[in-house]
Amino acid sequence: MFAKRQSVLAATAGAPPVKVPLRDRMAPLGRILKKPPVAVAGAGLLLMAAAGLFITVLGDPRAGAPSARVELKREAPASAPVPTGLEAFSMGAGGVYADLTADGALDPTQTGEAVITLPDGAVMSGNGAAVTAPRIAAQPLVAAPIAGLQQPGPDGVLPRIAPDGRVPAQAYARPFRSNGKPRVAVVVGGLGLNAVTTRAAIERLPPEVTLSFVPYAEGLQGWIDLARAQGHEVMIEIPMEPTGYPANDPGPYTLLASADAPDITAKMNWLLGRATGYFAVTNYLGDRFATSDTGMTAFLGVLRARGVAFLDDGSMSRKPGAWARASANRIIDEQQSPAAIVGQLNALEALAKSRGQAMGTGFSYPVTVEAVARWTAGLDARGLQLAPASAMTQRPGR
């Protein structure tokens, strides 16, 4: 058998290959492709191949469409500024000035704040907008210092009674002549900490309005000179121990209820030596200090010896002393809203008409300055005379 097989292979080994037609060779593949599942799959692959070839040859089919690219960048949140010592002294009140501008003003009707229309048609709100009352023409007072009314001290120039008997309480006060009408006085304090509201109070309040300045204010003498050049008499605020001290701390030179007379005198020398040109001092807080007979006696004794008056906010009205004394009848802005402040001013007006005189005091909030400026403008027509606070003082025993 093996020999027969070998002979067949030998016979065919040298013969040329038999040619098979292409159609016959592709016939098996055609029979496979004619099956439905294979046909569908093949059509899908053919479509994908055609799409790939199209993109490869012609590029991105959306290349001609308009497009834009935007780079987004998130801004880092701004950090809150660290409060200064002066802001701490003002117990956060400076926060109402954060958005003030020298001439700009917010539209109170668009802020959602309570608004009030004053007799002259002005509209104001408590939203912290800049004061818009008109500027007042200057009525300058005599420039400070006045010869003979000061002497060198350990921390600055101190007030004193002149050899001829003149006293700062009279020489630095705004002159006043009564016209027979009931008189009303207003004191606006907390000045010197914020330049915008300090300038607004100086320029837009009538010169009869008395201004009081914080002793820690930078450039204090310049502010006092500017106020007097406009016509305002001025006071210095004396920080005194309040309830809750030291958590509620008015500053490093606060007069303490536990202090003895030498300590009171030493702190008064620093406070009174900060500037010159004031006719009086006023208290900043101090309900706790007022209970100290030793402290109050030493404090008022220093003022009496130096010819300086003392005007309190109404909380120390039963404490006599100093060279001259007066007490406010009400605080006008314990509530910082236009309606509340105007209501207090109207009550002050009624009190002046019933008693012959009245005095109110307030802080230099923008809404307070605006309200006082507008309210005082019509006092004369309402039968009252606007008077400086010095016109309300009396000598002890008189």
Residue 101 has pLDDT above 50, yes or no: no
Decide which of 144 and 398 is more confident.
144
* Number of helices (H), then strands (E), in the chain: 11, 13
For residue 148, give every residue at least 6 positions away whose Cβ sits within 8 Å of its Cβ, in sequence order, or none.
162, 163, 164, 166
Q: What is the CATH number of domain 90-136+152-392?
A: 3.20.20.370
Decide which of 394 and 54 is more confident.
394
Decide which of 24 and 330 is more confident.
330
What amino acid is encoded at 236 in this protein? I
Asked if residues 215 and 238 have their Cβ atoms less than 8 Å apart, the reply is: yes
Least confident of 67-81, 83-97, 126-140, 190-204: 83-97
Decide which of 116 and 183 is more confident.
183
Give first-to-last CA distance, the chain, whole Å: 161
Q: Measuring CA to CA, how many Å separate 27 from each of 30, 39, 46?
A: 5, 15, 21
Q: Mean per-residue pLDDT for 116-130?
A: 54
- Name the strand (E) or helix (H) holding 87: helix 85-89
> Which of 314, 319, 311 has the alpha carbon at shortest distance from 391?
311
Q: Mean per-residue pLDDT for 37-62?
A: 56
In this prediction, residue 319 carries a pLDDT of 87
The rounded distance, in Å, linking the Cα atoms of 226 and 211 is 11
Task: Please write the tens of the pLDDT for every residue from 300-349.
Answer: 999 999 999 999 999 998 888 899 999 999 999 999 999 999 999 999 99
DSSP letters, 372-385, are HHHHHTTTGGGT-E
What amino acid is encoded at 157 in this protein? V
Q: What per-residue string of b and e applies to 266-280 under the rule 16 or more CB within 10 Å gives b? A: ebbbebbbbbbbbbb
> Which of 352, 311, 309 has the alpha carbon at shortest distance from 328?
311
Task: Please write the tens of the pLDDT for every residue from 279-304.
Answer: 999 999 999 999 999 999 999 999 99
Residue 5 has pLDDT above 70, yes or no: no
Q: Domain segments of the chain: what residues?
A: 90-136+152-392
Q: Is 390 left (phi over 0), alpha (psi -120 to 50) or beta?
A: alpha
In this prediction, residue 11 carries a pLDDT of 41
In this prediction, residue 47 carries a pLDDT of 63
> Which of 134, 113, 108 has the alpha carbon at shortest distance from 123?
108
In this prediction, residue 318 carries a pLDDT of 83
The rounded distance, in Å, linking the Cα atoms of 382 and 375 is 11
> Virtual CA dihedral for 88, 89, 93, 97, nearest 10 degrees?
-80
Task: Please write the tens of the pLDDT for every residue from 149-177.
Answer: 999 999 999 999 999 999 999 999 999 99
Residue 3 has pLDDT above 70, yes or no: no
Q: Give the β-pairing of 123-125 and 115-117.
A: antiparallel
Task: Please write the tens of the pLDDT for every residue from 30-46.
Answer: 565 566 665 556 666 66
DSSP letters, 29-75, are HHHHHTSHHHHHHHHHHHHHHHHHHHHHHH--TTTTS--------PP
Q: Give the β-pairing of 183-191 and 210-213.
A: parallel
